[in-house]
Amino acid sequence: MRYILIDRIERIDHSRRLRAVKTVSRSEDFFADHFPGQPVMPGALLIECMAQAGTMLLEISRDLGVKALLVMVERAKFRAPVRPGDTLSIDVLVESSEEALARLRCTALVQGRVVADAVLTFSINDVEPFYPEAIRKLVHIGYADLMRDTIVGPIPDEP
């Protein structure tokens, strides 16, 4: 994947919630064209941040034995621009989860201010057709790296 948009998983409450972090750097290649002299992170990449965080919650909660695929984006709203130097906090909350489908409420914040939100639906699939055994080992290593300082347990609501 060209864009890994999550730097770390800050907190996880398995099968319920996840908080991830992305530091937006001036060196991100999308800023060259979006927009010269007035850099703004594209909305599609904000959705991708939320989708990657949602994927991580679903896959980690099921012991990496599934592959979560984004199938629907609903009620996406972009409330403020995200600029170089911003630190995105991506909060994911499971609204519903079944064996083959999960619906997540996702919110992206900068300094506690909501910059984007959406409801994302994922299909839950067997991991084998997506990742052969050797690739699964690399995925496990990648997740372990993202979770190196993760706090596991209930995530308190922000005041």
Active site residues: 34
Alpha helices in the chain (DSSP H): 43-61, 133-146
Return the structure tokens found at 73.
């984006």
C-alpha of 67 from chain center: 14
Closest CA to 116 of 22, 28, 25: 22
CA distance 64 to 72: 22
